Amino acid sequence: MARASRSSLRFTHLRLKNWRNFREVDLDLDRRAFFVGPNASGKSNLLDALRFLSEIARPGGGGLQAAIDQRLGFSAIRCLHARKQPWIEMDVSIGTDLDLKAWRYRLQINIVKGEKLPTVAEEEVWRGDDKVAGQRRETTAEAFQFRQTLMEQAQGSLAFRELAEFFESCRYLHVVPQIVRDRERAHKGGEDPYGGDLLRRMKAMPKKTRDPRLRRISTALGLAVPQFNGLTLEDDADGVPHLKAAFEHWRGRASNQPEGMFSDGTLRLIGLLWSISEQGGTLLLEEPELSLNDAVVSQLPQMFSNMQKLSSRQVIATTHSPALLGDDDIGLTEVHLISVDSDGSHVETISGNKMIAAQVEGGMTISQAVFPLLAPTGIENFGKVVLAS
């Protein structure tokens, strides 16, 4: 089997059991995937399941125990609706358009009575139809030996290094403009999903690659941001990188402004455009429409597709935006609807929802068919609530 590049690999199937507010998830994933649902329905939690796998595999990241601790412990990520099942299970397929099941990874974790730390109950790695690695805890007495996954062990992951590298290269992104502007945050090492490392990542790229990419981003920003005319990356006297943009005005020469003066929307758009164009595994986007005009948001799905032609990077995004899902080119298999009842959250691909599929086939956009279903019961009374005592 030929080795695929990390950027061409993608998540093709996701199965979860007892993860956060989902008792069970079982769905296929395209190269673009959009998750919609009411507030607090679990959109971010689905992204976090894939982010969790990435953190386990990342060198120096602390592995399984650190990933669980960062989420406030095992009890915080185990589904409250799980009842008699004490474990969490994650089962993902990773492949390409030509080979949807090049890899499969399954991980089951729980806490054994008397132990403080969660441990691996079962772990399996499959390459195609061949099982290449695995471990299984047979008795509770040996729980202490299973505090690490094979994925986080350099020696243990040799047989599936391609898969581990894919997990490592997946990236969660939720650019917070205030953090991009925070110079103290920017000086900290390591990856920052909220944008603190954005300028460092730009500077780390070779100039011959970085400058053409900045020019392409400048072209896009010129269409989305009024009076925008050029974007560069320059070091200050201390060697700290800064973005500078030229803005046209009534004078003859454009005015240069540093990133500290950019609007929130401009900074978020720069972070989004840069990250999509990077090589790497799946990009997990939290509400990419924030701070952006609806006219810009409506172009994001097409922009994702165009950038994927360069990077081949899968994009999985959560959204509350009707404008984002108004694109006629979005397919029914690309959108996943989350609903909530007394038994937790449930997710379905809308291609399997007969009512939505019929409405779209009848001429509605996906946005028109889906978003009316997301309104909370009684929301029409929300504006009437009097908060003053």
CA of 126: how far to CAs of 55, 90, 93, 94, in Å? Answer: 20, 14, 9, 10
Nearest C-alpha neighbor of 76 from the set 67, 84, 85: 67
Residues, the chain: 389
Instruction: Check residue 5 and give its pLDDT.
Output: 54
Mean pLDDT of 53-58: 93
- Which pairing describes strands 32-36 and 335-341: parallel, antiparallel, or unpaired? parallel
Instruction: Check residue 1 and give its pLDDT.
Output: 46
The model's confidence at residue 251, banded by pLDDT at 50, 70 and 90, is: low
Q: Residue 65 pLDDT more than 80?
A: yes
Q: What is the CATH number of the domain that holds 53?
A: 3.40.50
Distance CA 371, CA 359 (A): 13
CA of 87: how far to CAs of 65, 283, 302, 344, in Å? Answer: 15, 27, 40, 16
**What is the average pLDDT score of the chain?**
89
Distance CA 288, CA 278 (A): 16
> Are 26 and 157 found together in one domain?
yes
What would the DSSP string read from start to end of 207-264? HHHHHHHHHHHHHHHHHHSTTEEEEEEEE-TTS-EEEEEEE--SSSSPEEEEGGGS-H
In one-letter notation, the amino acid at residue 350 is I
Q: How many Cβ atoms are within 10 Å of 85's Cβ, its own excluded?
A: 14
Higher pLDDT, 83 or 332: 332
Give Cβ neighbours of residue 234 (< 8 Å, ≥ 6 apart): 241, 242, 244
For the chain, what percent of residues have pLDDT higher than 90? Answer: 57
> Are 309 and 265 found together in one domain?
no
Mean pLDDT of 175-190: 77
Structure tokens at 385: 């609530």
> Are 161 and 37 found together in one domain?
yes
Mean pLDDT of 188-201: 84
CB 312 within 8 A of CB 5: yes
- Please count the structural domains in the chain: 2
- Which pairing describes strands 315-318 and 283-286: parallel, antiparallel, or unpaired? parallel
Instruction: Check residue 283 and give its pLDDT.
Output: 94
Nearest C-alpha neighbor of 126 from the set 27, 228, 1: 1
Q: Residue 253 pLDDT more than 80?
A: no
Q: Residue 189 pLDDT more than 80?
A: no
What would the DSSP string read from start to end of 102-138? SEEEEEEEE--TT-SS-EEEEEEEEETTEEEEEEE--
261-271 tens-digit pLDDT: 888 999 999 99
CA of 209: how far to CAs of 206, 215, 279, in Å? Answer: 5, 10, 12
Burial 129-146 (b: 16+ CB within 10 A, else e): eeeebebebeeeeebeeb
Nearest C-alpha neighbor of 172 from the set 76, 264, 52: 52
Instruction: Check residue 347 and give its pLDDT.
Output: 97
> Are 222 and 329 found together in one domain?
no
> Are 365 and 301 found together in one domain?
yes
With vertex at residue 313, the alpha carbon angle to CA 310 and CA 318, rounded to the nearest 5 degrees, is: 130
The model's confidence at residue 254, banded by pLDDT at 50, 70 and 90, is: low
Q: Which long-range contacts (CB under 8 A, 24 or more apart) does 257-261 make?
A: 259/180, 259/181, 259/199, 260/181
> Are 250 and 293 found together in one domain?
no
Mean pLDDT of 175-192: 78
The model's confidence at residue 4, banded by pLDDT at 50, 70 and 90, is: low
Rounded to the nearest 5 percent, the helix, strand and coil shares of the chain are 40, 25, 35
> Are 252 and 161 found together in one domain?
no
Instruction: Check residue 375 and give its pLDDT.
Output: 83
Instruction: Check residue 331 and give its pLDDT.
Output: 94
Q: At which of 245, 279, 313 does a domain end? A: 279
Distance CA 249, CA 227 (A): 7
Tell whether 41 is covered by a domain: yes
127-157 tens-digit pLDDT: 999 999 999 998 888 888 899 999 998 777 8
Tell whether 386 is covered by a domain: no
372-381 tens-digit pLDDT: 998 888 888 8
> Are 270 and 185 found together in one domain?
yes
Tell whether 233 is covered by a domain: yes
> Are 27 and 137 found together in one domain?
yes
Mean pLDDT of 301-311: 86
In one-letter notation, the amino acid at residue 150 is L
Distance CA 361, CA 318 (A): 24
> Are 22 and 165 found together in one domain?
yes
Q: At which of 257, 279, 301 does a domain end? A: 279
Domain that holds residue 221: 175-279
Tell whether 384 is covered by a domain: no
- Which pairing describes strands 32-36 and 88-95: parallel, antiparallel, or unpaired? unpaired
75-127 tens-digit pLDDT: 999 998 887 788 999 999 999 999 999 999 999 999 988 788 899 999 999 99
